[in-house]
């Protein structure tokens, strides 16, 4: 039986070429053997619009090769690459997924999210998210020149880096998911299993939901190594990849 693969938080960026290579190699060697591949957000460290990316982008080419080989590839936007659009989907032969999305996996309903929606303790971030997910805000941003957008994105990133180090210093809890939000969201979608990334805390959490066993699987990031969830026949295997 072929595996279904889940990856997120590659944060691909020219400053870490070895991770780009690891990701491309993984897609071509393992992705091509999969039944389906799900990329659950923050594939890219930054994405300021589909039009700002050269047509011969190596990552887009690798995803295209995978989808052309007959493996369905699904993409959910993350908080870094929330502007991934239809042109990206067309160029890569992928299907964009709404966040959240419920899929059926080996006969079970499974909820997929990027994960940032679960971090409801971070009220300031949720306000920012609501702003940048507003279609009008996005249209206004995308109407600016690529140079202007690059400047704005750079500024937003340095503000967020400062803020994250402040948060990490005092209140680590606020950067993680809120368990009540997890429970409410899973209940709302009628699932006992949730897969997400974003927090960079790879783990499989088991708990009880309405007196039934439930689990939340957190994908890891791709900073120093790779992380992938392989699902075969209802078995969930969270792996770390080294170079």
Radius of gyration from C-alpha coordinates of the chain: 18
42: left (phi over 0), alpha (psi -120 to 50) or beta: left
**d(C-alpha 128, C-alpha 240), whole Å:** 32
**Does residue 8 interact with Mn ion by CB under 5 A?**
no
Cβ neighbours for 9, distance < 8 A, ≥ 6 positions apart: 41, 42, 78, 197, 198, 200, 219, 220, 221, 222, 227
Identity of the residue, 71 or 217, whose beta carbon is nearer to Mn ion in the bound complex:
217
Identity of the residue, 193 or 196, whose beta carbon is nearer to Mn ion in the bound complex:
196
**Does residue 196 interact with Mn ion by CB under 5 A?**
no
For the segment 79-98, give every residue that binds Mn ion (CB under 5 A).
79
**d(C-alpha 237, C-alpha 151), whole Å:** 40
- What number of other Cβ atoms are within 10 A of residue 233's Cβ? 10
**Does residue 198 interact with Mn ion by CB under 5 A?**
yes
CB of 215 to Mn ion, least distance (A): 21
**Does residue 4 interact with Mn ion by CB under 5 A?**
no
CB of 107 to Mn ion, least distance (A): 29
**Does residue 11 interact with Mn ion by CB under 5 A?**
no
Identity of the residue, 3 or 197, whose beta carbon is nearer to Mn ion in the bound complex:
197
**Does residue 45 interact with Mn ion by CB under 5 A?**
no
CB of 176 to Mn ion, least distance (A): 12
**Does residue 78 interact with Mn ion by CB under 5 A?**
yes
Q: How far is CA 55 from CA 31, 69, 204, 239, in A?
A: 22, 19, 38, 32
**Does residue 221 interact with Mn ion by CB under 5 A?**
no
Q: Which one of 31, 42, 76, 217 is in contact with Mn ion (CB under 5 A)? A: 42
Residue count (the chain): 243
CB of 52 to Mn ion, least distance (A): 20
CB of 200 to Mn ion, least distance (A): 8
Identity of the residue, 5 or 99, whose beta carbon is nearer to Mn ion in the bound complex:
99
Residue nearest to Mn ion (CB): 198
The residues of the shown chain that bind Mn ion, judged by CB under 5 A, are 42, 78-79, 198
């Amino acid at each position: 039986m072929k595996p279904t693969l889940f990856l997120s938080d590659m944060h691909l960026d020219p400053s870490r070429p070895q991770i780009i290579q690891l990701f491309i190699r993984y897609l071509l060697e393992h992705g091509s053997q999969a039944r389906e591949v799900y990329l659950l957000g923050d594939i890219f460290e930054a994405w300021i619009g589909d039009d700002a990316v050269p047509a011969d982008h190596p990552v887009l080419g690798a995803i295209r090769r995978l989808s052309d080989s007959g493996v369905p590839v699904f993409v959910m936007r993350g908080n870094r690459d929330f502007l991934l659009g239809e042109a990206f989907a067309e160029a890569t032969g992928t299907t964009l997924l709404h966040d959240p999305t419920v899929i059926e996996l080996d006969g079970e309903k499974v909820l997929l999210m990027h994960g940032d929606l679960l971090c409801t303790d971070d009220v300031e971030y949720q306000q920012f998210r609501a702003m940048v997910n507003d279609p009008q805000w996005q249209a206004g941003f995308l109407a600016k020149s690529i140079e202007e957008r690059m400047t704005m994105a750079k500024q937003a990133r340095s503000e967020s880096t400062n803020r994250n180090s402040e948060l990490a210093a005092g209140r680590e809890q606020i950067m993680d998911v809120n368990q009540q939000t997890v429970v409410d969201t899973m209940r709302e979608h009628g699932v006992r299993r949730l897969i997400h990334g974003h927090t960079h805390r790879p783990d499989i959490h088991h708990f009880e939901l309405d007196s039934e066993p439930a689990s939340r699987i957190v994908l890891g990031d791709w900073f120093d190594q790779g992380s992938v969830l392989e699902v075969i026949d209802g078995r969930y295997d969270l792996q770390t990849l080294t170079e």
